[in-house]
Amino acid sequence: MNKLSFPMLGLAAAGLAGLISASAVAGPGAHGPNGEHLDAPASASTTGLARLPDGSVNVPKLAQRRMALRTIVAEAGEHPMTAELNGRVAMDPNAGGRVQAPFAGRLEPGPKGLPVAGQRVEKGQVLLYVRPIAAAIERGNQQAQLVEIQTSRRLAEQRVRRLESLEGTVPQKEIEAARAELASLTGREKAVAGTVGGSEAITAPAAGVIAAANALNGQIVEARDMLFDIVDPARMMVEAVTTEPSLAARVESAALANIPGVELAFIGGGRSLREGALPLNFRASAKDAALAVGQPVTLVAKLKDAVKGIAVPAEAVVRNPSNEPIVWIKSGAERFVAQPVETRPLDASRVVVVKGLGPGNRVVVSGAALINQIR
């Protein structure tokens, strides 16, 4: 048997290594949406993290584990269309309330002091007292009127006692008329005395948490000044706006983007444009999430219409240097190819790729942003 010389052995080993290297670079038949092949061999071989001349990226197995890369096989299907809407959190009128000053006056603390923002209150709880105030001339006129009523009330009391002592000798209707006059003067005295030196208790219209407090001890307020806003954190409203009037009839459900733990129930849309937009109201039930009145939010509304495409997590879509949306496809054991795509939002955490991605490809769904940073 002829034995190969050492130089010949070296050449054979080099050829075998080149063959193995070429087979490692070749992918498992990845292709684009139009059938084009994405598994062409790279123009230059490399063994570390690098972006190859053809735009693909080489990521060794050890680096893939460290970067926690995860892929899924793309599957086409029909998905309900969605629309992103801008909105804000509002108070539920059936689960909260607003406390306003009934008249001009000076604020005084209630039995438990003045409530502050974040404090829980119960329905009917006395929050504070409002003592009415008036100008010097008006206050003098009220005091003079009170003295006049008090004098008339004392005279009426004397007359009732005198007529009651003569009961049987005077007509009964005179006694009843005197008693009615005394009751009228007593009521007038109580009403005027309350405006001169009394105070009115302001109670909570609903149970909940104080969302906003604008009351200080001794503060002078005018009629209809806002003192407290009371909300129920578990029952809020979300008001979204749209410029498409027909969207209200197509909404099936909705979710808040980037705010988990909130359930939205669609109530309906308005029938009158407000600043060129139509309001859509949703009832929000938040158990663990914290929502604040006036907080701007983004809603992903699920519509009754359907669209064909491939559903992938939103984090799978990244931007290339040209600011175009792309996904990364695994075309080999250590090779990843960028594929431009066109997407539509599906829900709060997923998007539908409607153009640019073919079924059967392995799409990177975790760690795509890390691959995108490799240069």
The predicted pLDDT at position 43 comes to 44
Please tell me whether residues 294 and 367 are part of one structural domain.
no
- CA angle at 64 for the pair 336 and 37, rounded to the nearest 5°: 15
- CA angle at 18 for the pair 15 and 22, rounded to the nearest 5°: 140
Is the pLDDT at 366 greater than 80? The verdict is: yes
Count of all residues that appear for the chain in the document:
375
Q: 37: pLDDT confidence band, cut at 50, 70 and 90?
A: low
Please tell me whether residues 213 and 114 are part of one structural domain.
yes
What is the domain-level CATH number for residue 190? Answer: 2.40.50.100
Residue 332 DSSP one-character state: S
Please tell me whether residues 358 and 238 are part of one structural domain.
no
Residue 31 DSSP one-character state: B
Please tell me whether residues 105 and 222 are part of one structural domain.
yes
Residue 17 lies in a domain: no
Residue 60 lies in a domain: yes
- Look at residue 121 and give its three-state secondary structure: strand
Pick from 14-18, 152-156, 203-207, 238-242: least confident: 14-18
What is the rounded CA–CA span in Å between residue 212 and residue 119?
A: 10
Percent of all residues in the chain with a pLDDT value above 70, rounded to a whole number: 84
- Which residues are paired to 296 by β-bridges? 88
What DSSP line would sit under 230-294, residue for residue?
EEBTTEEEEEEEES-GGGGGTEEEEEETT-TTEEEEEEEE-SS-BTTBEEEEEEEEESS----TT
- Which residues are paired to 50 by β-bridges? 58
- Which residues are paired to 98 by β-bridges? 229
Please tell me whether residues 61 and 40 are part of one structural domain.
yes
Which residue is listed with tokens 């050492």? 6
Please tell me whether residues 171 and 212 are part of one structural domain.
yes
Which among 230, 252, 272 is the end of a domain?
A: 230
Mean pLDDT of the region 81-100: 90
Is residue 127 within a helix (H) or strand (E), and if so which, with residue range?
Answer: strand 126-132
Please tell me whether residues 42 and 139 are part of one structural domain.
no
Please tell me whether residues 130 and 183 are part of one structural domain.
yes
Residue 11 lies in a domain: no
How far lies 307's CA from each of 132, 195, 251, 317, in Å? 64, 67, 15, 18
What is the domain-level CATH number for residue 36? Answer: 2.40.420.20
Residue 176 lies in a domain: yes
Q: What is the pLDDT of residues 331-356, one digit of tens each?
A: 989 999 999 999 988 877 888 999 99
Which among 304, 320, 352 is the end of a domain?
A: 304
The predicted pLDDT at position 29 comes to 45
Mean pLDDT of the region 182-200: 82
The predicted pLDDT at position 136 comes to 61
Residue 138 lies in a domain: yes
Mean pLDDT of the region 41-60: 75
Q: How far is CA 67 from the centre of its chain?
A: 33
| Counted domains in the chain | 3
* Comparison of pLDDT for 47 and 40, the residue scoring more: 47
Please tell me whether residues 86 and 141 are part of one structural domain.
no
**Could you tell me which residues come within 8 angstroms of residue 258 by beta carbon, excluding any fewer than 6 positions away?**
298, 348
Give alpha helix (H) positions in the chain: 6-25, 61-66, 136-165, 172-197, 368-372
What DSSP line would sit under 47-75, residue for residue?
SSSEE-TTS-EE--HHHHHHTT-EEEE--
Q: Are 286 and 292 within 8 A, CB to CB?
A: no
Please tell me whether residues 143 and 226 are part of one structural domain.
yes
Residue 1 lies in a domain: no
Do strands 126-132 and 200-203 pair parallel, antiparallel, or not at all (unpaired)? antiparallel
Q: Is the dihedral of CA 51, 57, 62, 66 positive or negative?
A: positive
The identity of residue 202, as a single letter, is: I
Owning domain of residue 225 = 97-230
Mean pLDDT of the region 194-212: 86
- Look at residue 202 and give its three-state secondary structure: strand
Please tell me whether residues 110 and 182 are part of one structural domain.
yes
Is the pLDDT at 11 greater than 50? The verdict is: no
What is the domain-level CATH number for residue 236? Answer: 2.40.30
Is the pLDDT at 3 greater than 60? The verdict is: no
Q: 287: pLDDT confidence band, cut at 50, 70 and 90?
A: confident
* Comparison of pLDDT for 173 and 349, the residue scoring more: 173
Please tell me whether residues 102 and 221 are part of one structural domain.
yes
**Could you tell me which residues come within 8 angstroms of residue 42 by beta carbon, excluding any fewer than 6 positions away?**
25, 52, 53, 54, 56, 58, 335
Which among 244, 277, 304 is the end of a domain?
A: 304
Q: Please choose, from the candidates 34, 38, 61, 67, the residue with its C-alpha nearest in 3D space to the C-alpha of residue 48.
A: 61
Task: Record the tokens describing residue 258, joined without a space.
Answer: 């980037």
Residue 4 lies in a domain: no
CA atoms within 13 A on the CB side of 207: 3
**Could you tell me which residues come within 8 angstroms of residue 149 by beta carbon, excluding any fewer than 6 positions away?**
185, 188, 189, 192
What is the rounded CA–CA span in Å between residue 151 and residue 5?
A: 137
What is the rounded CA–CA span in Å between residue 225 and residue 313?
A: 49
Residue 109 lies in a domain: yes
Quickly count: other Cβ atoms within 10 Å of residue 70's Cβ. Answer: 14
- In the chain, DSSP finds a helix count (H) and a strand count (E) of 5, 23
- Look at residue 229 and give its three-state secondary structure: strand
